[in-house]
A and B are shown apart, each in its own frame.
Chain A
C-alpha cells in the first residue's frame, strides 16, 4: 500500500507572486502579510479523487453540446499531464472553459460587445488516461478587451483547472496560442518571473495531431508539482 505522496517545493520563479501591480485586480486582493510556512500534512498531501463515471466521453468535445456547430476555427487541444519528475499523472480531472470565437464568454458579467454563439457554452472536462494524456475538441477562442489599462486586450486563451495526486499539486492556469502578438502586452501572462516557465503556458502548433479537413492541432503539456526527490525519513 502506497502512502499519499510527499511533495517537493516548487522551484523559485515558476509561480507568480500574489501582488503584481500591473494586474490591477491583484492590488486589493493579494495578501499583504507574509504567508506562514506550513510543513505538508496529510490534509494537503491528500486530495479529492474523481472517477470515470463523473465524466462523460462527450464532455471533452466543446463543439458538440448543441444541435448546431459553433462558429470559429476548429481546434484539437491535446497533451500530457506530468509531474516534475516526468511521471504521468493518471486519472486526473481537467476542467476547461473559454470565450467563443468572437471573444465573448457565456457569462452575465461579460459586457464585451461581441456576439454570443448559441451553439457554444465554452465548457469541457475530461480525465487523463493511463499515460497522463488528455484531448479536447473546441474552437479557437477570440481575444477580447478588458478594463485593466488603456486599450487592454487579453490574448486568446483557454482556462484549465487540474486536480493532481494531492491538494498540493492543485493547479489553475491558462493556455495561450503560439505567435499571439498580444502576449507581450498581457500583465497576466507576464506575471511569471521565470522565462522558461512562462513559455510553458504557450501551446505548440501540433502538425501531427492536425486532423485533415477537420481541425488544427495544438499541444499543451502540463507539469504539476512533483514528489520530493529526497523524501524525508519517517
Chain B
C-alpha cells in the first residue's frame, strides 16, 4: 500500500445542498421477490434528542449485485439510481422512512449464513466518519444463525431488529440510538 488513504471528514449540517439529488424514499431491487416493506424510525442523540440533520444510505445485495462482476464495474440499475441503493435524510423531527423489498437469506459456499439484512451508513454533523450498522427483520428464522448477529452480545442484538407493527408485517419500526442504554450496535469494518 503505497498511498495514504484520504481521511474522512464530517458531512456537516449543509449536506442537503450536495446530496439531495439522489435522495429517494423507495429502493428498487432487481429480481428480489421479497415483500415490499416500509421501514420507519427516528435517530436520537445522547440526550435522547431527535437528530434532524442526519443522512442514511441503505445498501442491499440483490440478485444483480450477487452475480460476479462483469469486468471492472457492472452498470445495472434503474433509470434514476442503482438497484439496491437508497439515500434518505431525516426530517425536522429526526424521523426517516423508506421502502424496499425484503432481501432473501444467503448462504456462502463455506456454509456461512446471512439472514436477510440491509446495510446502513449513518452520516451527520458530529460524526467525523460515517457509522455502519445493519437492519435485520425480527422473527426471521435465519437470524439465529447469522454470522454478524452471532458476533453481537445477545442483549444488544435487538437494536438491529426492525419490528413489525401490530397492523402489518410489512410495516416495520427501527430506531437508531447513537448513545445510551439502547445504543445501536455499530460495526468496525
Contact = CB atoms under 8 A, between A and B. Distances in A.
Given A2-B71, A30-B126, A191-B128, A159 B12 contact: yes
Contact of B84 (A14, A39, A48): A48
B51 A226 contact: no
Contacts of A47: 59, 85
B4 interface: yes
B77 to A, nearest CB: 6
Contacts of B12: 159, 174
A114 interface: no
Q: What bracket does the count of chain A residues touching chain B fall in?
A: 35 or more
A47 B114 CA distance: 17
A2 B73 CA distance: 9
B119 interface: yes
Given A44-B119, A84-B5, A197-B6, 12 more contacts: A18-B127, A35-B186, A36-B188, A39-B147, A47-B85, A48-B59, A90-B73, A159-B11, A161-B19, A197-B4, A200-B7, A234-B109
27 contacts: A1-B69, A2-B68, A15-B7, A16-B128, A16-B129, A28-B126, A29-B51, A30-B126, A30-B178, A35-B188, A38-B148, A38-B188, A41-B148, A42-B61, A48-B59, A54-B80, A84-B2, A91-B75, A105-B17, A107-B16, A107-B17, A161-B19, A170-B121, A173-B6, A174-B10, A198-B7, A234-B109
Interface of A: 1-4, 8, 10-11, 14-18, 20, 23, 25-33, 35-44, 46-51, 54, 82-86, 90-91, 95-97, 99, 105-107, 109-110, 121-125, 159, 161, 165, 167-168, 170-174, 188-189, 191-192, 194, 196-198, 200-201, 222-226, 229, 234
